[in-house]
């Protein structure tokens, strides 16, 4: 390996790296050197199944640096190191799915991975997993057990074990996993990181070795919720190569205020004798309440019954359909526990499949009313954690208990984000997962990001502090922008009219110097923005995002003399915003000199 550059690289969180790249205080080559040194220092941690050669990693970083500045700035993941679970294809690296005899050399890179590469990310390698992505434990691999960075005696969780450990240990900024029954969430809980399980179909599974093709999702492990949503924003797109992919309809990127979070009744929540895991979970619920959430007790029975269907119903046969022929032809080349589970699908008939499908629809109907009373469901990511020895002694039971709070999610078409909740007395991390119906990924992200930050935990096992809050980046597709200048600004009296419609603050902005600003009569106090042919000034405001339906409802509620029309912003955009009829400004005080409504209310801005 080439000797490293001396530049200090503390945290690999995406926002932090991008900020330093933009400031010119860090180079992608320095980050590549740092990552390769960390991997070398980690030694035989059983994280990797294959690696991009060091020279190629450095060459990729150098090629990115050689791009013109404008092209570098246009890459949303410029210079960000990442890893890929080894059931996802990357041209030039073998795909094993955790089974050496199954290995093949893909000609094409999986659609989702290619989108990351096109966005400027740097691939480091492919990671360990439970064989054929069958398991939540992370020990079912002929390549060994990826070392839990908090205690090597304990499981890292699976099936995406290597990806989670790589992020937690600070070897990459983010990593891809897959999630069928919880594989993108359980390992996050055991390694103190974020696990994003997006809505099914948002990320293409073309180029992914299927487990249950109708349920499989590509998941994202990251150090922060915002980072995970950055990655989702790059990857989410329909793909003709994946018949299960689907576009996201416009959806509110933020939850209502106050948001309501569901919690099962106490007798419906097993922790399998782990009082510490329960304590950490209960403390996380308290944080949700302090963040403004309202706790709502729900009946968890239909969710639990759906979870039981995953391995007792026809979806085991879907695993058999995926890789059963290979296992039958190579019985000695697969792990006994994996072979037993997947071969079990052969005992299920088409009649069993239809009965399971009918039962699932019954449970879906029973669960549906819950979502009328809550915005998110807050569950332990897992009820407990086990040592490697405990799992090896009882592999089926221990794995099953880890799926109690995860197995139903894809069956019921939910999205979710697992975030760190705290540490048990012995130093092991525990997580909490927030779930919601399909396509509410961004709304879940808003709450999950706040909850993660409120816990005050370091990032993964790196010891790095949590970075400053920033807007959750995913969810803008199909949304309409609105420029507000008065009482609808955040924190002011009419702002609730926006937030009640699920609007999200995109950020502050300013008009071009072509407007005059007037204090209109009436209550509550409000201004009028008037475009001028000459003699104007720039006025401060905020840009908010709404769905088309919410935008229409909001516009319909605006009383004269105010209205919505095109407003020119200083950054060159022309978006909808508040304007005023010229006649209403006659005799109304001109407050343009204050430069904005907040400054006028404070009466502190100097006159010009």
Catalytic residue annotation: 85, 159, 183
Residues with Cβ < 8 Å from 325, sequence gap 6 or more?
A: none
Q: How far apart are CA 538 and CA 508, in angstroms?
A: 13
Report how far apart, in Å, the C-alpha atoms of 589 and of each of 512, 598, 600 are: 21, 16, 11
Give the burial class of 422: count Cβ atoms within 10 A of its Cβ; 0-12 exposed, 13-18 middle, 19 or more buried: buried
Residue 558: CA atoms inside 13 Å, Cβ hemisphere, count?
23
568: alpha, beta or left, given left = phi > 0 and alpha = psi -120 to 50?
beta
Residues β-bridged to residue 179 = 217
Please state the separation of Cα 5 from the chain's center in Å. 32
564 phi, psi to nearest 5 deg: -115, 130
What CA–CA distance (Å, rounded) separates 189 from 192? 6
Q: What's the CA gap between 545 and 557, in Å, rounded?
A: 17
Report d(CA 10, CA 357) in Å as an integer. 49
Nearest to 514 by CA among 440, 600, 579: 579
248 HSE (CA, 13 A, CB side): 29
- Chain centre to alpha carbon of residue 368: 23
Angle at 408 between CA 406 and CA 411, to 5 degrees: 130
CB 366 within 8 A of CB 302: yes
Pick the closest to residue 236 from 261, 202, 269 (CA basis). Answer: 202
Write the CB contacts of 271 (distance below 8 Å, at least 6 apart in sequence). 277, 278, 281, 380, 383, 384
- Residues facing residue 83 across a β-bridge: 125, 175
C-alpha angle 396-284-160 in degrees, rounded to nearest 5: 35
Considering just the CA atoms, what is the radius of gyration of the chain in Å?
26
Whole-number Å distance between alpha carbons of 411 and 541: 44
What are the φ/ψ torsions at residue 85 (nearest 5 degrees)? -60, 140
Instruction: Give the other-Cβ count within 10 Å of 370's Cβ.
Output: 17
Give phi and psi for 414, each to the nearest 5.
Answer: -110, 160
Q: Are 378 and 263 in contact (CB under 8 A)?
A: yes
Task: Give strand ranges (E) for 352-503.
Answer: 376-380, 414-423, 429-437, 480-484
Integer angstrom CA distances of residue 24 from 7, 10, 304, 476:
12, 16, 51, 29
Q: Which of 127, 247, 212 is nearest to 409 (CA)?
A: 212
* Angle, alpha carbons 558-561-565 (nearest 5°): 65
């Amino acid at each position: 390996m080439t000797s490293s550059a001396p530049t200090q690289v503390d945290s690999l969180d995406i926002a932090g790296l991008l900020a330093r790249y933009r400031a010119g205080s860090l180079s992608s080559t320095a980050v590549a050197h740092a990552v390769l040194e960390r991997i070398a220092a980690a030694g035989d941690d059983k994280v990797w199944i294959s690696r991009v050669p060091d020279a190629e990693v450095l060459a990729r970083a150098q090629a990115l640096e050689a791009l013109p500045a404008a092209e570098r700035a246009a890459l949303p993941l410029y210079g960000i190191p990442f890893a890929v679970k080894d059931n996802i294809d990357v041209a030039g690296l073998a795909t094993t799915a955790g089974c050496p005899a199954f290995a093949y050399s893909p000609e094409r890179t999986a659609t989702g991975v290619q989108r990351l590469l096109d966005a400027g990310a740097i691939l480091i390698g492919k990671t360990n997993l439970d064989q054929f992505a069958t398991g939540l434990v992370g020990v079912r691999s002929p390549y060994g057990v990826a070392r839990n960075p908090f205690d090597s005696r304990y499981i890292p969780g699976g099936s995406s074990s290597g990806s989670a450990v790589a992020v937690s240990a600070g070897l990459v900024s983010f990593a891809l996993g897959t999630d069928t029954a919880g594989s993108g969430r359980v390992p996050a809980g055991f390694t103190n990181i974020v696990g994003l399980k997006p809505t099914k179909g948002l990320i293409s599974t073309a180029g992914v070795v299927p487990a249950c093709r109708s349920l499989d999702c590509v998941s994202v492990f990251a150090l922060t919720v915002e980072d995970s949503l950055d990655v989702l924003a790059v990857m989410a797109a329909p793909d003709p190569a994946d018949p299960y992919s689907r576009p996201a309809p416009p959806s509110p990127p933020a939850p209502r205020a106050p948001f309501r979070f569901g919690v099962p009744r106490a007798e419906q929540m097993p922790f399998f004798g782990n009082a510490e895991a329960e304590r950490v979970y209960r403390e996380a619920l308290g944080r949700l309440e302090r963040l403004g959430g309202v706790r709502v007790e729900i009946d968890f029975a239909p969710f639990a019954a759906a979870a039981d269907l995953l391995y007792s119903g026809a979806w085991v046969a879907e695993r058999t359909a995926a890789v059963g022929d290979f296992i039958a032809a190579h019985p000695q080349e697969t792990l006994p526990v994996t072979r037993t589970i997947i071969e079990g699908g052969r005992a299920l008939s088409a009649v069993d499949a239809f009965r399971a499908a009918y039962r699932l629809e019954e449970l879906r109907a029973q669960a549906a009313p819950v979502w009328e009373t809550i915005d998110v469901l807050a569950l332990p990511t897992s009820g407990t954690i086990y040592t490697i020895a405990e799992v090896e002694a009882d592999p089926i039971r221990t794995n099953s208990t880890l799926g109690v709070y995860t197995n139903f999610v894809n069956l019921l078409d939910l999205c979710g984000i697992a975030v760190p909740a705290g540490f048990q007395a012995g130093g092991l991390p525990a997580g909490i997962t927030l779930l919601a119906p399909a396509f509410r990924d961004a709304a879940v992200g808003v709450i999950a990001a706040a909850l993660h930050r409120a816990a005050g935990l370091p990032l993964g096992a790196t010891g790095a502090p949590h970075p400053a809050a920033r807007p959750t980046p995913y969810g803008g597709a199909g949304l309409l922008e609105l420029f507000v200048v008065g009482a609808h600004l955040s924190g002011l009296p009419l702002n609730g009219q926006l937030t009640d419609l699920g609007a999200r603050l995109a950020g502050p902005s300013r008009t071009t110097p072509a407007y005059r600003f007037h204090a209109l009569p009436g209550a509550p106090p409000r201004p009028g923005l008037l475009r001028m042919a000459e003699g104007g000034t720039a006025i401060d405001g905020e840009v908010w995002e709404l769905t088309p339906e919410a935008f229409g409802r909001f516009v319909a509620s605006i009383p004269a003399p105010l209205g919505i029309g095109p407003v020119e912003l200083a950054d060159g955009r022309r978006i909808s915003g508040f304007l005023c009829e010229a006649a209403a400004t006659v005799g109304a005080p001109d407050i343009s000199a204050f430069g904005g409504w907040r400054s006028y209310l404070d009466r502190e801005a100097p006159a010009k």
